[in-house]
Amino acid sequence: AQKVTQAQTEISVVEKEDVTLDCVYETRDTTYYLFWYKQPPSGELVFLIRRNSFDEQNEISGRYSWNFQKSTSSFNFTITASQVVDSAVYFCALSDGGFQKLVFGTGTRLLVSP
Amino acid sequence: SAVISQKPSRDICQRGTSLTIQCQVDSQVTMMFWYRQQPGQSLTLIATANQGSEATYESGFVIDKFPISRPNLTFSTLTVSNMSPEDSSIYLCSAGGASNTDTQYFGPGTRLTVL
């Protein structure tokens, strides 16, 4: 069975600090996809990134970066120089190779204070 | 990317009634999904809405409680039947393309409160 673990329930940082959100996954599939979504207080789910199991290259998008390591089954997300607008719940999710339905982690609430 | 809208955005309902939530996508998609997010919790898949066939339900969810329609490739509805306060949640619709390389995008959600 697939499983996603986000051990950090809540993280509080001060603006401009760097913060890393952890995600560990379990799957027996050789082909799978990993996702990160942001859920601001308004409630909508905002897509941030998708990674497939064959691409272990790290990715950087502005202040966001992702570190995918198959050896440790982890897909961690780092925000550099955090801002108040980054305050949200962040979900890591996993889909198998066939049907795109997502298994979500429990989410990490990030609070960035000025 | 796909743009997804949901109606209503929120509602307050009485115990024992039913509510139908609509999900509209701005392009044709193969896969549509309905998720539930209970207060302070993560998202749980209710069912996959299949065009031209019955929805596929996840363990713990049944058609009598959550009937789903998918009349075409851009539209789906979820009905929450015979509601109780435990059904108070955010219900989110999502959509994905024909290929597994497509990203799954989400609608803005419907906040349901059952009194």
Contact A92, A77 (CB under 8 A): yes
Interface test with B, best of A3, A48, A89, A101 (most B CBs within 10 A): A101
Verify whether the Cβ–Cβ distance B43 to A102 is below 8 Å.
Answer: yes
Distance of residue A97 Cα from the nearest chain B Cα, in angstroms: 7
* Interval B14-33 mean pLDDT: 93
CA B111 to chain centre: 12
Contact A45, B92 (CB under 8 A): yes
**How much is the pLDDT for A98?**
47
* Interval B108-114 mean pLDDT: 96
One-letter amino acid identity for B66? Answer: F
Q: Pick A91's closest partner by Cβ from B31, B42, B101.
A: B42
One digit per residue, the tens of pLDDT, for chain A of length 114 reads 889 999 999 999 999 999 999 999 999 988 899 999 999 988 899 999 988 898 888 888 999 999 999 999 999 999 999 999 999 999 999 998 545 789 999 999 999 999
Q: In the structure encoding, which two tokens stand for residue B73, read together?
A: 């490739």
Mean pLDDT taken over chain B: 91
Task: Report DSSP letters for chain A, one per residue.
Answer: --EEE---SEEEEETT--EEE--EEE-S-SS-EEEEEEE-TT---EEEEEEETT----EEETTEEEEEEGGGTEEEEEESS--GGG-EEEEEEEE-SSS--EEE---EEEEEE-
Q: Is B100 on the interface with A (CB under 8 A)?
A: yes
Q: Is B96 on the interface with A (CB under 8 A)?
A: yes
User: Which phi and psi angles does A101 have, rounded to 5°?
Assistant: -65, 145
Residue B101 has pLDDT above 60, yes or no: no
Contact A111, A88 (CB under 8 A): no
Residue B33 has pLDDT above 90, yes or no: yes
Cis peptide before B8 (omega within 30 of 0): yes
Predicted confidence (pLDDT) per residue in B49-90, tens digit: 988 888 999 999 999 999 999 999 999 999 999 999 999 999
Instruction: Enumerate chain A positions whose Cβ falls within 8 A of a Cβ in B.
Output: 33, 35, 37, 42-45, 47, 50, 52, 91, 95, 97-107
What is the band of B99 on the pLDDT scale with cuts at 50, 70, 90?
A: low
Q: In the structure encoding, which two tokens stand for residue A44, read together?
A: 């909508």
Alpha-carbon span B29 to A62, nearest angstrom = 30
**How much is the pLDDT for A82?**
97
Residue of A nearest to B41 (CA): A106
